[in-house]
Amino acid sequence: MVLIGIDGGATKISAWEIIYDKKNNTFSLGSTNVVREYRHYDEFIQDFSPVELSVQLADMNGDIGLTQDEMVQGEVYMNACTDVITELAAKHRDKKILIGIGMPGLKTADKRGIAALANGPRMPYFANVVESKLKERGIKLYDKVAKLGSDADYCGIGEEYAEKGEFKNCKNAYYLGGGTGIADAIKLKGRLIPFDEIKDWIAKTWELKSEDGLSLERYTSASGIQFIFSLNSGLTIEKLNEKRIFPPQILEAALNNDINAINTLKQISKNLAQLIFERITTVYFGWNHHFEFINPNRQALESEHPYKGTLFDKIIIGQRLGDLLMESIGTGILFDEMIELLMEMTKGIADINFKKHYLTDNIFNKDLICFSNLREAPAIGAGIDAYLTKFN
């Protein structure tokens, strides 16, 4: 059997072969990776306009009536997924394939399709179609796709079970992964807990509104950081892409005293510090209204929960956000500014146990913050989830 993990995003699909070490009960990435960008398909609709999200959400309760553009664009996504699997499977012609797939969007009731997607086409029969296409190509599956998972949950699974995962060997930790979007994962009392399971008392990062009125996803994802720099510099996203100005280049510009880059990273530091402070206090004390919500109609959070009094062993920062913060250590900006702000906020807490844990010599304990080594956490998590679903 060959285990494959799929990470589907807004612009591309990436597939990795996942290696299971039975002796040590760990998973790691294989040497083979295949990527397909949707834009390279002839049928791809460059200016695709998604159905209004409120309509998508309403349609989830009944039949999903796809538009013609959704059917065409969806076919591109599903062909890309089929193609990456086909290429990986071609290297193992005599073996059956077990596939785990992570895709954005709200899933159908059977979890094998996508019922709502803010910036893309709905694909309610995603797994069925991909499986059918693979069968037509003579590719044998070990079992059908159990479900389409989310990036956030798969990041958590990857950190828990992968060989280099940061959730391993700790009981309580929070993971924040910033790539194209943002991923939240949490482990409490030794158990991985999906945020959807605890949404009554803690919110996802994208749901929280900054003081500037923007989703915190804008300050924690790689694409969001580029967006903030666009606002500060007056350069369009298209122009920044054309000039290949992404978060690493923004950090470099800040170190060269570019005022727009400096202001951008100050905003990132401030919002990251506020987010992390909200996480550590919400878990320990309960929700205390640190933020308003992007959706004003979101159900209010409860202040009581079964994990109150919990202190994090680790705060894990991953993907491109982790790379950026790690690169800034010792420069006096970004990471260093975030730590300074966390220190000031933590000093204002009266609880002795809380302060003793998070402060060392009256300085925020930087050792509690670590950086993920899993650059492909969603893909490895998808493969691991498929394996555990089948064999556990």
Least Cα distance to 196 among 232, 153, 143 occurs for 153
pLDDT at 213 over 80: yes
Q: Is the pLDDT of residue 371 over 90?
A: yes
Residues whose CB is less than 8 angstroms from the CB of residue 158 and which lie 6 or more positions away in sequence, other chains included: 165, 374, 376, 377, 378, 379, 380, 381, 384
Q: Which tens digit of pLDDT belongs to each residue from 122-153? A: 999 999 999 999 999 999 999 999 999 988 89
**Are the beta carbons of 182 and 220 closer than 8 angstroms?**
yes
CATH class of the domain at 166-372: alpha beta
**Residue-wise pLDDT tens digits, 91-109:** 887 899 999 999 988 899 9
Phi, psi dihedral angles at 373 (to 5 degrees): -90, -5
What does 332-356 look like in DSSP terms, one character per residue?
SSTHHHHHHHHHHHHHT---HHHHH
| 2-150 and 166-372 agree in CATH topology | yes
> What per-residue confidence (pLDDT) applies to 24?
83
Tell me the three state secondary structure of residue 45. coil
Q: Give the model's confidence band at 354: pLDDT under 50 very low, under 70 low, under 90 confident, else very high.
A: very high
For 262-275, what is each residue's pLDDT tens digit?
A: 999 999 999 999 99
Over its C-alpha atoms, the chain yields an Rg (Å, rounded) of 21
The correct CATH number of 2-150 out of 3.40.50.720, 3.40.50.300, 3.30.420.40, 3.30.1330.20 is: 3.30.420.40
Give the residue extent of every domain in the chain: 2-150, 166-372
Per-residue model confidence (pLDDT) at position 141: 95
Nearest to 371 by CA among 310, 311, 313, 323: 323
Q: Over range 28-35, report the average pLDDT.
A: 91
Q: Which residues make beta-bridge pairs with 162?
A: 27
What whole-number percentage of the chain has pLDDT above 90? 82
For residues 78 and 127, give the distance between their C-alpha atoms in angstroms, rounded to a whole number.
Answer: 9
Q: Stretch 206-212: mean pLDDT, rounded?
A: 93
Which residue in 389, 392, 375 sits closest to 14, CA to CA?
Answer: 375
- The beta strand positions in the chain, using DSSP E, are 2-8, 12-21, 26-37, 97-102, 106-107, 114-116, 148-149, 173-178, 182-188, 191-192, 208-209, 292-293, 314-318, 359-360, 363-364, 369-371
The pTM score is 0.89
User: What average pLDDT does the structure give for the chain?
Assistant: 94
Residue 375 has pLDDT above 80, yes or no: no
With a pLDDT cut of 70, the percent of the chain lying above it is 100
Question: Under a CB-based contact definition with an 8 Å cutoff, are residues 220 and 321 in contact?
Answer: yes
Tokens at 57, concatenated: 């959400």
Predicted pLDDT of residue 118: 79
Q: What is the mean pLDDT of residues 348-373?
A: 95
Given a cut of 80, whether residue 11 has pLDDT beyond it is yes
- What was the pLDDT predicted at 240? 95
What tokens appear for 156 in the block?
């958590």
Identify whether the C-beta of residue 76 lies closer than 8 Å to the C-beta of residue 44.
yes
Q: What is the pLDDT of residue 318?
A: 94
Per-residue pLDDT reduced to its tens digit, 272-323: 999 999 999 999 999 999 999 998 888 999 999 999 999 999 999 999 999 9
